[in-house]
Amino acid sequence: MTEKVKETFAPATGRAGGRSSVPAPAALVAKVRTLAPTMTRSVQRVAEAVAGDPAGCAALTVTGLAERTGTSEATVVRTARLLGYPGYRDLRLALAGLAAQQQSGGSPAITTDIAVDDPIADVVAKLAYDEQQTLADTAAGLDTVQLGAAVTALAAARRTDVYGIGASGLVAQDLTQKLLRIGLIAHAPGDPHLAVTNAVQLRAGDVAVAITHSGSTGDVIEPLRVAFEHGATTVAITARPDSPVTQYADHVLTTATSRETELRPAAMSSRTSQLLVVDCLFVGVAQRTYDTAGPALAASYEALAHRHGAHRARP
């Protein structure tokens, strides 16, 4: 294991070696929903309890919450840390804040599943609500310290490679197209073998971005690993902050997702949250490079307008 790999496992400092910010109260429910599939049953009981009744749990001591969930005090503390809080006291403060938001009407109802026989108007309403909630959850849980560091790296990069497969591959293409529009060099190789051979060419001063909802997609992890070991700055966009892809990420940007159902696979909701993160990255980079990005955008708009005008002028 290289020295750089060892740094990614440094305790309490985040994958990038910099301390991550404590999640805002609004991000708590989203984080529970995101991490629930990877939790042990005892931790899951505590997490579901605090997400389901923040006001009631905020009034409990660590012993009281352990008794309520049939777990131990150590499990309660471990759950708090897993959710991103230094200890149970910090989690209680977040629960109190979340309870206050809910009492003031700031917390929406849980999304209803889409049924096979739902009228199309109901489908539109349910999907719109679910998309809005996914975006809100992602924004609330996004670590702006990690985001800012990723923006800094991208803005200064000699070259950026972006890896993604399936729906995440479409998001990878979206990011590269945005970066190209402001005059930066970016690639999104669709072939896994090409992604690895491209990653071999990266070095310090380059950036590699991996986009994977599960964080376990081998065809995305492998090129990121190669880029990481060749000295490139690496970024992972994933819904699983403790997944394998983060072992090779200097910066981890966590996305939220809604509960997967028969008619709404994870790829749909994950794409929504991934695109928000991509847009945040792009706007941040455009701000940092405005002197060159502004003219590049203007030139691309003019070129497209001229092309469309030429087509309309043809007999």
Cα 190 to its chain centre, rounded Å, is: 21
pLDDT along the chain (315 residues), means of 10: 39 40 69 80 92 90 94 93 87 87 58 74 83 83 93 97 95 96 94 96 97 95 98 95 94 80 64 94 94 74 67 56
> Which residue type sits at 47?
A
Give the per-residue pLDDT at 111. Answer: 45
Contact 277, 175 (CB under 8 A): no
Give the per-residue pLDDT at 12. Answer: 34
Q: Which two tokens stand for residue 236?
A: 């992972």
Pairing label, strands 207-211, 233-238: parallel
Q: In what order do the strands lie in the sheet with 160-163?
A: 186-187, 160-163, 207-211, 233-238, 251-254
> Which residue type sits at 52?
G
Give the per-residue pLDDT at 10. Answer: 35
Give the per-residue pLDDT at 8. Answer: 36
3-state secondary structure of 263: coil
pTM: 0.70
Cα–Cα distance for residue pair 270/143, rounded to 1 Å: 17
Domains of the chain: 23-107 (1.10.10.10), 141-300 (3.40.50.10490)
Give the per-residue pLDDT at 9. Answer: 33
Using CB atoms within 10 Å of the CB of residue 257, give its burial: 0 to 12 exposed, 13 to 18 middle, 19+ buried.
buried
Buried/exposed 131-143: b ≥16 CB within 10 Å, e otherwise? eebbebbbbbbbb
